[in-house]
Amino acid sequence: MKGADPYVPGHGDLSYEVLHTDLTLTYALPSNRLEGEAVLTCRAVERLTQLRLDLALTPKKVTVPGHQVTTFRSSGGRLLITLPEPVEPGSQVTVRVRYAGNPGPLRLRGFDPAGWEELEDGVIVASQPHGASSWMPCNNRPSSRSTYDLTFTTAADYHVEFSGEPVSSRRHGASRTWVFRQQHPIPAYLATVQVGPYTVCEQQGPVPIRVVAPPGIRGAGFTASFGRQPEMMACFIEAFGPYPYPAYTAVITEDELEIPLESASLSTFGRNFVSGDWENVRLVAHELAHQWFGNAVTAEQWSDIWLHEGFACYAEWLWSEASGERTAREWARYHHGLLAQGPDQPAPLTGPTAAHMFEDWVYKRGALTLHALRVEAGEAPFFEILRTWVAAHQHASATTAQFLAHCSEVVGRDLAPVLLPWLDSPTLPDLP
């Protein structure tokens, strides 16, 4: 099955967009049983007689409001809905899907399992790049963005978080219902649910920051890493422009996690990242920077993932510089030396292939590309490029071609000859 993006075959559809997703979910922790109802407001890009949604769980009933009967079938993680009448391009259609099942991470050849995952005591959802349909019906491509309302009911003694703003929390007997809203359109893979026996720590900063974590997490390691998030936020607001969401949340699980992962307005870490070691501190900065690069401005296709990871990696170096540690120039020299010792990169940075898209050279080569841009453009123009890039494409999709054009427009001359060797050449250019 082809899908919308060659890197994640069998996922996503280019014939329509989801504008809004209203989810009502009930979750039983002991049995990992999820029952849900999703109301999706969709806009046709092409003339539609059918609607293909991504959904790994079992659909129970599908309706189109105003019509008594809606035909559907489900196979291979796809829900195919026959629409009662054609929908013309630009017009909207609403579908209601009731579904249930035992969600779990989805497997896709070449990738680690992604999506809904049970912890020792709770749940995380880490969907990049293909796992969003493990727990909700969606159009699972990075270029389709939806706003969200979530109503989530589970055991009363558990705390729930979502990649959106909390609206209310109400207990009824042994259960509690949480309501959240994400007012900015986000791709499905950036929507997350976190469930656990957590406490909440509020941090004072330029925007509201919350750390949601197991009790007793605070200590010297916490102070040296997550305790510095307000300073990181101030640093990145100065460098990248206004923070793109109303607030930021960091969830720290009791379980150890292999890697942290960003979602819209929320990042997820394991307890093993709570320390003052640079390798952990840089990841706290990295995930925060993704709120600008990756979440607010999202690559139109996965082949341009350097627009996420290269930028977030360079943000690590900026934080190091701002906090009195190594400068970005020193980090660039260090990582350039490491890459220079290795073989030529296996693919262009602007098309690393699905097999390489999460490899470290994509992150570091992307960051070095930005450092080369900083040297060529100069300090003030470089940061103007970053701030105006976010402002111009906020809560939308973007491409490398657009970034090259944007850089040239800001500095008033063609920067493609400077940047293309970093983006496309298998041989590492000299560090400027």
130 annotated to bind ligand: no
Q: What is the mean pLDDT of residues 358-383?
A: 98
CB burial of residue 219 (10 Å; 0-12, 13-18, 19+): exposed
Helices assigned H by DSSP within 132-267: 220-224, 229-240
Share of the chain above pLDDT 90, in %: 96
Give the per-residue pLDDT at 30: 94
The Cα 31–Cα 28 span in angstroms is 6
Q: What is the mean pLDDT of residues 137-152?
A: 98
Mean residue pLDDT across the chain: 97
CATH dotted code for 16-103+127-190 = 2.60.40.1730
CATH dotted code for 299-424 = 1.10.390.10
Share of the chain above pLDDT 70, in %: 99
The Cα 271–Cα 141 span in angstroms is 30
365 — pLDDT class (breaks 50, 70, 90) = very high
Nearby residues of 277 by Cβ (< 8 Å), 6 or more positions away: none
13-39: per-residue pLDDT in tens?
A: 999 999 999 999 999 999 999 999 999
Give the per-residue pLDDT at 160: 98
CB burial of residue 200 (10 Å; 0-12, 13-18, 19+): exposed
pLDDT at 70 over 90: no
Rg (CA), the chain: 22
Give the per-residue pLDDT at 346: 94
Q: What is the mean pLDDT of residues 319-348?
A: 96
Domain ranges of the chain: 16-103+127-190, 199-291, 299-424
Give the per-residue pLDDT at 66: 84
pTM, entire model? 0.97
Q: Do 16-103+127-190 and 199-291 share a fold?
A: no
pLDDT at 48 over 60: yes
157-207: per-residue pLDDT in tens?
A: 999 999 999 999 999 999 999 999 999 999 999 999 999 999 999 999 999
- Report CA-CA distances (Å) from 376 to 120, 268, 372, 419, 427: 50, 35, 6, 10, 20
- Report CA-CA distances (Å) from 384 to 284, 314, 390, 398: 24, 16, 10, 18
Strand partners, 18: 42
Of 3.10.20.440, 3.40.50.300, 1.10.390.10, 3.30.465.10, which CATH number belongs to 199-291?
Answer: 1.10.390.10
pLDDT at 85 over 70: yes
1 — pLDDT class (breaks 50, 70, 90) = low
286 annotated to bind ligand: yes
282 — pLDDT class (breaks 50, 70, 90) = very high
